[in-house]
Structure 1
């Protein structure tokens, strides 16, 4: 004897603010708006161009069939009395994966985090799932924030993971198991600092052109010989996405140094925040060519050092700065911030011209 079919086999889940329920014909128009949203198209495999009949077919034919066949549990998300998106737990056995998408006018309110938490709890407690996998395009910051907030273990980047609309894409991956606490596993390292002249904020995709300018400058490249050659927009985006990922796993915190017009003047980061020794970190930085010799990095670095030593900030007890022989500007910044030179590593700095020189080591204790 089989149980009731769709929509009666769709459990209604709610935390009092966000509700998961079966789709209805009234959802179709807003589902179409979501499917045509440029950000939704960018990060999902939704067919494009997308018609109303496609949204109707998905909500009222594909979703019901998947529920009835036991291959996926896809709920409509309801928020403030309106359709807000979908969350979909896919897979027949004990291993599943999750996908989700949100209408643009419901973003920024914690809706998807709540929806995923409800779906995951049901998948484990009622549907017998033992593990749920998450993946997203590299660079899908919104999806990464949801996975982090819901307690997924963030594994890393898998090359060539996704095939969507004829494109092979790298993916971020994570998973959560039955019994795992549904809370963040790491501290997302992200903050905004202000100095007299500048704002230090997280990197944005809009910073990419200025990053390209800085990383194609010969002086920058001389000391950062690991930079790709040639260096283009895709490399700048990869740098930004890597900074986001390392912030999410609690390894590094990276700031863009921005002027009053929000123009990027350089970047600075504290690395190694997840070091098993605890309480240590290494500062790295570079300055855009048109912002050099104006005290930009010294002012920004002073704010970062203060934040790093602050018990309410990064709570570090020791910071290090490493500078190659010949990088006079970097060494002067270290000295001006009270970092003491404590040693030299010989022959460990490879420069862009292929030569090898020394690294000078500086440290400061709280």
Structure 2
């Protein structure tokens, strides 16, 4: 059957996927002029009625040709007018593989519509078309798109440099994040956690998520560089990349990063983290660092104790059974913090890292079990 009769309508009672219509053009233009759409997609610039008409003709031609490129308009299942809320497409390839793409009009965001639409399209691919694995691609840092795929059970694989071509051929290509889901995977829940830093507060110290404007509080650190893991130190110059990497790690369930702040002023004082990537289930590594001007008031101990209590809490916390920590041999102040928290030093690793003068320092290993 020719378009639109060849388009299978898909619905779960919450969203309805239907064939695109000519009257969708106006809202397609609105979506493609939205700042987030322009930031994260490759829609033509500028985008007007002519571009929308071309897009609608492209969709119709694709369905009529039956070449594996399928597009649906996303609507609210309860809307009698089936007003356009966005587009989702399935690009089937060879050997049972396909890619999915999607975008929402601003009116359709924040209601779970895209995750529902993705589950419907994935079910069609796996159940009706015999698909084996469905891939998701997005520009690095597009966490809104990743949250949709994450909610539908996709497993994150990698970020590939210069993978996605921008609309302007002369511009630098975007790094591409890739994830996938298989036909036997659970589409109803995430395959890994997404660790959001909950707000914690005590004794004039508040822990919250890091924000872009916290760059204004970053100070040049005077502590020896071997006190911290390579690449861990913040500077005003590297802060944007530093923050993006930590946001990526949290979205992949490997760590949680808090900003230590003064509760009265909300100014950033340092950081505290739980690292679960590479650890045994139920365990995490504690880490912390403080800006020079914030030292001497017990902020590290207060912040770390808040995170330790949160990590062990069965209700409202992480429910972990064990925390570990590592300090270098000559970092006595960090060792004193761990001692105050109740950690026990269980071993010393010789020649762990190199000091700035070329000599080698040991590593001290610490552990704390849940009470």
Shared fold, TM over 0.5: yes
Q: What is the 5 A alignment of 1:124-163?
A: 124-163=126-165
Tell whether 2:268 aligns with 1:264: yes
Q: What is the 5 A alignment of 1:59-70?
A: 60-69=56-65, 70=67
Q: What is the 5 A alignment of 1:101-250?
A: 101-165=103-167, 166-182=171-187, 183-196=189-202, 197-207=204-214, 209-210=215-216, 213-214=218-219, 216-219=220-223, 221=225, 223-224=227-228, 226-227=230-231, 233=237, 235-250=238-253
Q: 2:299 aligns with which of 296, 300, 303?
A: 296
Q: Distance in 2 between matches of 1:230 and 1:341?
A: 28
SS of 2:71's equivalent in the other structure is: strand
Q: What is the 5 A alignment of 1:2-81?
A: 4-58=1-55, 60-69=56-65, 70-79=67-76, 81=79
For residues 318-347 of structure 1, what are the alpha-carbon distances to aligned partners after superposition, in whole Å with 9 as ceiling and x for unaligned? 211211233233222212211122222222
Q: Distance in 1 between matches of 2:281 and 2:86?
A: 41
For residues 226-251 of structure 1, what are the alpha-carbon distances to aligned partners after superposition, in whole Å with 9 as ceiling and x for unaligned? 23899565x43333333233323332
Residue 88 of structure 1 corresponds to: 89
Are the counterparts in 1 of residues 347 and 364 from structure 2 also a CA contact under 8 Å? Answer: yes
For residues 263-312 of structure 1, what are the alpha-carbon distances to aligned partners after superposition, in whole Å with 9 as ceiling and x for unaligned? 4332221113563x322211112223343333222211111100111123
Residue 318 of structure 1 corresponds to: 322
SS of 1:357's equivalent in the other structure is: strand
Residue 357 of structure 1 corresponds to: 361
Structure 1, unpaired ranges of 5+? none
- State TM-score, norm by structure 2: 0.87
Distance 1:265 1:319, change over 3 A: same
Q: Quote the RMSD (CA, aligned, Å).
A: 2.5
Q: Distance in 2 between matches of 1:108 and 1:259?
A: 32
- State TM-score, norm by structure 1: 0.88
Shift of 1:121: 0.9
State the number of aligned residues.
357
Shift of 1:205: 4.1
Q: What is the 5 A alignment of 1:328-347?
A: 328-347=332-351
Are the counterparts in 2 of residues 21 and 75 from structure 1 also a CA contact under 8 Å? Answer: yes
Q: Distance in 1 between matches of 2:352 and 2:192?
A: 32
Q: Distance in 2 between matches of 1:289 and 1:335?
A: 21
Distance 1:198 1:231, change over 3 A: closer
